[in-house]
Structure 1
Amino acid sequence: MLLLGIDVGTSSIKVSVVDGATQQTIAAAQYPESERDIISLQSGWAEQSPEQWWSDVKEAIKKVNQSGKFYTKDIGAIGISYQMHGLVLLDKAGNVLRNSIIWCDSRAVPYGEKAFQEMGEEYCLGRLLNSPGNFTAAKLAWVKEQEPELFEQIDKIMLPGDFIAQRFTGQITTTPSALSEGIFWDFLENQVSQKLMQQFGFSSGIVPNLQPVFSDHGRLTKETADELSLKEGIPVTYKAGDQPNNALSLNVFEPGDVAATAGTSGVIYGVSDELTYDLQSRVNGFAHVNHQPDLTRVGILLCINGTGILNRWIRNLSGNVSYAQLNEMAATVRPGSDGLTILPFGNGAERMLNNKIVDAHLQNIDLNKHTTAHLVRAAQEGIAFAFRYGLDIMRSNGMQPAVIKAGKANMFLSPVFTEAFVNATHVPVELYDCDGSVGAALGAGIGAGYYRQPADAFRKRQPLSVVEPTQAALYDELYGAWKAELEQKLNSDSLILQEA
């Protein structure tokens, strides 16, 4: 069986066609080639068009079909990975009511903080595993108050992957994993939190039908099948947020397994068999793809908003050289970037910094010494140090990774970043040839029953390499200086704190 995987990212759509038997990628495509912009109508806001996502998904599928490497009618199941926490709103006719308020949007923080106080920390942390923060439920509360006429037109709310599946099939479903990432899910009751719905004044009817992550989420309509040269009736058998899906793609299912990714945002994602939470909600727990009422599998997620987006900003300043050229430039500079440091927090409120807006900062610039290459290396080291800062929070909550798995993609393509990451964190990294769309394809195979159990989907996938820490003492010293500069900013009276 051939499996089609779709990854709805912030910057582009990626698709892969995977041979289920060999678990190898036959063909892959990305659309568009250039990175999609984030719509920011006000400072701290971040939106994208769901219809643009759908258009890009179709173009990406048409593009991979043009490879001629497979027979399109042999595709037997579809899996979807998507950017987490986005809010998509449909009316009764299935029309999109507004742009999606996406993951890095900060406007809903005051609504989440107010709910956290009024519902009680014990309830929110013990049952939701999180403060409502600026997650999907709080975003919907913002719409309710700020756009009441539009709110009254809502028939169903969705996460981005639910929307793409709806466009494929005409059916609307969601999953406990999706609702948990929106902070709608009560882990003790194993259902939508009635207390949260009452707190925000939401009707239960706006929540789509619940389905397991691995299940039949609808069948490809004839109209869409004809447009995309696919077989009518192909099931969508898997959909998951990008970070649970990234973990799946790296065979991270069991307690103690840990994955990482460094795309637009940066994430460390570890699996626990306990309903754990951080008292300050700086790291967050969501239902992992294999979580069941009788089998606790919670994904503990550290998210750093300002990661690859900083690397992209540096690239733009550098005259749009390739990312490979940026990595080569970074390698010409010694560790520590000759004293130049960068705090990579310029993409909205950072959860691990208690929802403070720190912004990005360049420190200790020497106009007679520092070059563009120094800027590139300082950015990549600053991102690695942000990972170390967040991992230390995870360690304080009981997560002690012996190894971290990552796809050899995005910033892990840079030897400088990878070296800084393993030495700053003191944790080896296994690098794999995989990405979100490949993971979504393998997830589709699990959901379709092609694989008996999840582990069967990864038996033929081995790491490309293992990168071990070799300069941990040096990077400890560099991290100490970087952390001191961050803490100085965090203690600044001028720093913006998003709160009610």
Structure 2
Amino acid sequence: MYFIGYDIGSSSIKAALLNAETGACVATATCPEKEMTIDVPYQDWAEQNPESWWQEIINATEILLNRFTIDPALIKGIGIAYQMHGLVCVDKDQQVLRPAIIWCDSRAVDIGNAAFDALGEAYCLSHLLNSPGNFTASKLRWVQQNEPHIYERIHKVMLPGDYIAMKLTGEARTTVSGLSEGTFWDFTTNSVSQVLLQHYQIDGSLLSEVVPTFGEQGRLSAAAAAILKLAPGTPVTYRAGDQPNNAFSLNVLQPGEAATTAGTSGVVYAVHDKNGYDARSRVNTFVHVNNSGEALRNGVLMCLNGTGITNSWLKNLVGDITYPEMNNLAAQAPIGAKGLQVFPFGNGAERILENKSVGASIANLDFNRHSRAYMMRAVQEGIVFGLNYGIDIMRHMDLGIHRVRAGNANMFLSPLFREAFANTANVVIELYNTDGAQGAARGAAVGAGYVSIADAFRGMECLSVITPDTSLQTQYQEAYGNWLHALQLRMH
């Protein structure tokens, strides 16, 4: 039996075909070849056309089936992972009403901050475990206030993964984990937060029917099957945001375990068995994929928006260079880059900085001392230092983060990045041969009842383990201390 996993990112759509009997991924596809664009019509805005995600799903599926010939009837389930916190609005005919407001859009920060003050810190932190901040509910309130002609036509609001599931099945549905990532979920009552809906004057009927994370969520419609060349009636059996799914794909499911990723944004995601929160909402708590009535499982997430996008900005600025060449150049500069510092905060409001849009900056640049190599190292170190800043916040929540798992992809392909991460954060890094699309396919196999969660990770291998090096730790932590001091001066 085979299962398909889709990962709807903001840079690309990835697809994976999994042989569930062996646990082997037999084919993958990534579309488009170049990164998808993010539209920024105004400062702090970030939008994408949801229909472009669907078109790239079509393209990726075609490539997948060309690379591995298979009878579509042998595909027994579809799993979906998706970029979190986005807002898609559709009318009664399931037509998109406006571009999706995606995760790194900051236009609703003030709305969320005002709600935090009005509802009160005690309510928000004990019930939502977060400030409403810049999450989906606040983005919907922005549409209501600024585009009433759009708002009055909305039949359903959904997250990016909910939209793709709707395109596959024709049904508008969501999950508890998804509602929590939009700050619609009350962790105390285990239900949609009526208090938040009333405060934002949002009709609860705009939210979709709730289905389990694992389990049948709808079946492939005849129309979608014809477009994708898959079998009608194939069930969608798993859905999760990209970071809970990344954790699942790395078998990070129990308290004390942590996952990390460093794509366009960078995330460290740790599993907790408590309804914990950061008093300043700099890191955020959401319902994890394996949460149940028998065992509480939440995911505490820290996000650095300006991770891979900072490195790709530098690559585009330099021109005519590959990422491996950049990594090699960066490794030629010494730890600390002779004082050159990069603050990678140029991709919208940063939650770890209390939802402030401080912008990216470069400090201590000396034209006589610093070559391209120094700049490339300073970028990678600046990203690591930003991630470590968030890890320190999580540790103050009694999350013991000593070992993290990551897919062998994106920034973790850089030996220097891995070295800097392990030594700055004082963690062991385990790299695995997996990614979000493969995780979604494994989740689909679990949701279809073909394998248990315990057996879902056959075929996944640990490729390497990076441990802190005592001879390097002092240098990296000194460089981090200097960077942190400079950041604190900029923040005050």
* Secondary structure at 1:411 match in 2: helix
Q: Which amino acid aligns with 2:486?
A: E
Structure 1: 5+ residue stretches without partners: 492-500
Query: Counterpart in 2 of 1:361?
Result: 361
Query: Counterpart in 2 of 1:228?
Result: 228
Residue 484 in 1 paired to residue 488 in 2? no
Which deviates more from structure 2 when the two are superposed, residues 368-377 or residues 130-139? 368-377
Query: Counterpart in 2 of 1:13?
Result: 13
- Partners of 2:320 and 2:200 lie apart in 1 by 45
1:152-191 correspondence to structure 2 within 5 Å: 152-191=152-191
CA apart distance, 1:368: 1.6
Structure-2-length-normalised TM-score: 0.98
- Partners of 1:218 and 1:320 lie apart in 2 by 46
Query: Counterpart in 2 of 1:328?
Result: 328
Residue 401 in 1 paired to residue 404 in 2? no
* Matched-pair contact (CA < 8 Å) for 2:434–2:460: no
Query: Counterpart in 2 of 1:47?
Result: 47
* Matched-pair contact (CA < 8 Å) for 1:180–1:287: yes
Query: Counterpart in 1 of 2:427?
Result: 427
CA apart distance, 1:377: 1.0
- Indicate how the Cα distance of structure 1 residues 298 and 320 shifts in structure 2: closer, same or farther if over 3 A, else same: farther
- Partners of 1:44 and 1:147 lie apart in 2 by 17
* Matched-pair contact (CA < 8 Å) for 1:26–1:69: no
Q: Which amino acid aligns with 1:268?
A: V
* Matched-pair contact (CA < 8 Å) for 1:264–1:309: yes
Query: Counterpart in 2 of 1:237?
Result: 237
Identity %: 50
* Matched-pair contact (CA < 8 Å) for 2:402–2:426: no
CA apart distance, 1:376: 1.1
Q: Which amino acid aligns with 1:472?
A: Q
Residues 27-66 of structure 1, C-alpha deviations (whole Å, 9 max, x = no match): 0010001001111111100010001111111111111111
Q: Which amino acid aligns with 1:467?
A: I
Query: Counterpart in 1 of 2:66?
Result: 66
Structure 2: 5+ residue stretches without partners: none
Query: Counterpart in 2 of 1:97?
Result: 97
- Partners of 1:347 and 1:365 lie apart in 2 by 22
Quote the RMSD (CA, aligned, Å).
Answer: 1.0
1:327-346 correspondence to structure 2 within 5 Å: 327-346=327-346
- Partners of 1:234 and 1:63 lie apart in 2 by 19
Which deviates more from structure 2 when the two are superposed, residues 233-242 or residues 69-78? 69-78
Residue 140 in 1 paired to residue 140 in 2? yes
Q: Which amino acid aligns with 1:101?
A: I
* Matched-pair contact (CA < 8 Å) for 1:258–1:405: yes
CA apart distance, 1:384: 0.5
Residues 279-315 of structure 1, C-alpha deviations (whole Å, 9 max, x = no match): 0000000000011234210100000101000011011
Query: Counterpart in 1 of 2:464?
Result: 465
Residue 474 in 1 paired to residue 475 in 2? yes
Q: Which amino acid aligns with 2:456?
A: A
* Secondary structure at 1:356 match in 2: coil
Residues 311-361 of structure 1, C-alpha deviations (whole Å, 9 max, x = no match): 110110111422122112212222112221101110011111111112111
Structure-1-length-normalised TM-score: 0.97
Q: Which amino acid aligns with 1:487?
A: Q
- Partners of 2:122 and 2:332 lie apart in 1 by 51
* Matched-pair contact (CA < 8 Å) for 2:165–2:171: yes
* Matched-pair contact (CA < 8 Å) for 2:256–2:271: yes
CA apart distance, 1:15: 0.4
1:58-457 correspondence to structure 2 within 5 Å: 58-451=58-451, 453-457=452-456
* Matched-pair contact (CA < 8 Å) for 2:250–2:259: yes
- Partners of 1:178 and 1:342 lie apart in 2 by 34
* Secondary structure at 1:6 match in 2: strand
- Partners of 1:228 and 1:100 lie apart in 2 by 23
- Partners of 1:441 and 1:155 lie apart in 2 by 30
Q: Which amino acid aligns with 2:87?
A: L
- Partners of 1:394 and 1:25 lie apart in 2 by 33
- Partners of 2:47 and 2:122 lie apart in 1 by 32
* Matched-pair contact (CA < 8 Å) for 1:216–1:447: yes
* Matched-pair contact (CA < 8 Å) for 2:24–2:458: no
* Matched-pair contact (CA < 8 Å) for 1:190–1:293: no
Residues 179-234 of structure 1, C-alpha deviations (whole Å, 9 max, x = no match): 00000001111110010110000111111101110121111111221222211110
* Secondary structure at 1:110 match in 2: helix
Q: Which amino acid aligns with 2:465?
A: V
- Partners of 2:74 and 2:225 lie apart in 1 by 13
Q: Which amino acid aligns with 1:84?
A: M
- Partners of 2:364 and 2:340 lie apart in 1 by 5
Residues 216-270 of structure 1, C-alpha deviations (whole Å, 9 max, x = no match): 1111111221222211110000010000000000000111110000000000000
* Secondary structure at 1:56 match in 2: helix
- Partners of 2:399 and 2:187 lie apart in 1 by 20
- Partners of 1:404 and 1:427 lie apart in 2 by 7
* Matched-pair contact (CA < 8 Å) for 2:13–2:31: yes
Q: Which amino acid aligns with 1:462?
A: E
Query: Counterpart in 2 of 1:498?
Result: none
Q: Which amino acid aligns with 2:485?
A: A
Q: Which amino acid aligns with 1:428?
A: V
* Matched-pair contact (CA < 8 Å) for 1:85–1:103: yes
Q: Which amino acid aligns with 2:227?
A: E
CA apart distance, 1:369: 2.1
- Partners of 1:110 and 1:18 lie apart in 2 by 43
* Matched-pair contact (CA < 8 Å) for 1:27–1:69: no
Q: Which amino acid aligns with 1:461?
A: M
* Matched-pair contact (CA < 8 Å) for 2:26–2:68: no
Q: Which amino acid aligns with 2:455?
A: D
* Matched-pair contact (CA < 8 Å) for 2:14–2:437: yes
- Partners of 2:375 and 2:480 lie apart in 1 by 17
* Matched-pair contact (CA < 8 Å) for 1:73–1:229: no
